[in-house]
Chains A and B, each alone.
Chain A
């Protein structure tokens, strides 16, 4: 690389929009990556994350807003001059070329000397542990191997930025998990900034430095996995990331903040209370693993009064391997899931048992109901 330009891979999107004649695909998306960061765009299909990727790669023209890489405006550059590596969902390997030829392709397009091309292509194949399979055509490789070739091809020319569009979506779970770790290892080793698109929240939590959660064409929240999980900024994020109980009701600002519903008043942290006014529709987010479950005792009635517990009847107990999941009916039309590790599960609780669910005030997050756009 040329040391004078000191490429670092800082990608900046500022107010990027993509509108079609009668719909909006992406609405005012802004973010700045840190050099070498692994940023994941996470959201349901059709939420605009792939369109965002297309605008960065140059396949989709932004309606407004700017996309810059290390300060250079990408709108001025056609896709083949952007020097951005892209790994496609279907791998997009050239079927008429061998794995080695596929990996050599970007180097040949840059007019590199033949010997150098071969050396670097081989090195890239070895990086993804396919050093011996360079002579095979894509159709002679397994899905995982094809994925590795696609990855090697996208990084062999040392791009500052690597875009990946659901690259592991077509692989089975075990292979996917192995490749997740490998993609992380190699991209850190190369120091390349990665923008990774997925709809799989588990994948996003495992791989990312930061996650941008998409919904309806806009970024709902951007932050580390822990931020999103522990401090969701909206009910959508709380629902999308991890498993959570969302109890919908109305906000009552008195007594430290309660969510009122069906005669229940449940305590939760309303944060700064932004968007929450007394009587406004809101949701209480409770992670199942933060709820402790125990057989009800007569003294519990006192505890219920503080708002951090609720009583109900166990409807179902599901064995998950590393934990048990309890489905507890609290009121008509309201069930809460609680989770207990195999070692600490209450042995006197069975289906039909009356139980008390407890949590810490800080573990419940109250967020305003989003008004549908």
Chain B
């Protein structure tokens, strides 16, 4: 592959786009370290007061803790379900494959508000609204398609002769799944799990409907605080949220890079 140098004007345009995309997000970082009492730019001085404020406020720490627990539970649940769906739909020998596929990825396509209203209506009747389980299930609905899609893409390039080989070597279909299929799909499953966690971690719409004053996730607490007291704590929380998301995306990038190194195995195209 011959690499061509990017023309200077194109580089400038690209840099400008990057700048406009990132600055609104990154501007909260200096704001969170501000010594001012209000959101003020540029910040008059440096302080970690707002991070202390976050750590010392039960409202914030509870919300963070809730987000973490719900995120982990939803990620775990969507990983199991999404992987199972991917295996099932990809390998189903049925005509309705396209329909099945559409059903599973529907939550990615249907407006979130619609899902939120519907979920709220049903969960209110079942007594799940405002509960931990309700939020986990609600987030799982939104997160599962991400696992389904990443594992599905892994399956499309999966060399099924490996499974056949394992069968001929005496492995039962269950052993083949545990010893061959799942270990080889592990990077895809891990990426799906990380996306599932992020989906839950910064989910707002469904959470607005399903949370209660006693059970708030971090984004919901932020909305709440925005209405009452607008101090730089919110910038500190936003910075923390971003840091977590960025770390997870970095983990995804690392997994992807390792995967592409691992790809070539067989001798035959």
Binding site for B on A (CB under 8 A): 57-59, 78-86, 88-96, 105-106, 109-110, 138-139, 143, 146-147, 153-154, 157, 169-171
Contact = CB atoms under 8 A, between A and B. Distances in A.
A105 B183 contact: no
A109 B171 contact: yes
A92 B184 contact: no
Interface stretch (B43-51, B117-125, B158-166): B158-166
The 10 closest A-B CB pairs, nearest first, are A90-B266, A92-B165, A106-B169, A90-B268, A109-B170, A143-B267, A95-B265, A86-B168, A79-B167, A92-B161
A169 B267 CA distance: 10
Contacts of B167: 58, 78-80
B180 A94 contact: yes
A95 B184 contact: yes
Contact of B183 (A57, A80, A81, A96): A96
Nearest to A147: B267
B267 A146 contact: yes
Contact of A84 (B168, B265, B267): B168
Interface in B248-269: 262, 264-268
Contacts of A143: 267
Nearest to B168: A86
A340 B164 CA distance: 49
A143 to B, nearest CB: 4
Size category of the B interface is 20 to 34
Interface string B129-173: 000000000000000000000000000000101101111111111
B268 A80 contact: no
A90 B161 contact: yes
B241 to A, nearest CB: 35
Contact of B162 (A82, A86, A92, A171): A92
Contacts of B176: 80
B171 A105 contact: yes
Contact of B262 (A81, A83, A110, A139): A139
B175 interface: yes
A28 to B, nearest CB: 26
A82 B166 contact: no
B170 A94 contact: no
Contact of B168 (A82, A90, A138, A170): A82
Contacts of B183: 96
Nearest to A89: B268
Interface of B: 159, 161-162, 164-173, 175-176, 179-180, 183-184, 262, 264-268
Given A147-B267, A170-B267, A170-B268, A90 B159 contact: yes
B101 to A, nearest CB: 23
Given A92-B159, A94-B180, A139 B268 contact: no
Q: Which of B167, B169, B179, B265 has the most chain A CB atoms closer than 10 A to its own CB?
A: B169
A88 B162 CA distance: 9
A94 B162 contact: yes
A286 B17 CA distance: 75
A85 B170 contact: no
A59 B164 contact: yes
B264 A139 contact: yes
A171 to B, nearest CB: 7
Contacts of A170: 267-268
A58 B268 CA distance: 23
B169 A109 contact: yes
B89 to A, nearest CB: 22
Given A82-B168, A84-B168, A92-B161, A109 B266 contact: no
Given A59-B164, A79-B164, A92 B266 contact: yes
Contacts of A91: 266-268
B166 A105 contact: yes
B263 to A, nearest CB: 9
Contacts of B168: 57-58, 79-80, 82, 84-86, 154
16 contacts: A57-B168, A58-B168, A59-B164, A79-B168, A82-B168, A85-B168, A89-B268, A92-B162, A94-B165, A94-B184, A95-B265, A96-B183, A106-B169, A153-B169, A170-B268, A171-B267
Q: Which of B170, B262, B265 has the most chain A CB atoms closer than 10 A to its own CB?
A: B170
A80 B262 contact: no
B247 to A, nearest CB: 26
Nearest to A93: B265
B261 to A, nearest CB: 9
A80 B267 contact: no
A157 B169 contact: yes
Contacts of B164: 57, 59, 79, 86, 88, 92
Contacts of A81: 170
B115 to A, nearest CB: 37
Nearest to A86: B168
B265 A139 contact: yes
A106 B268 contact: no
B170 A106 contact: yes
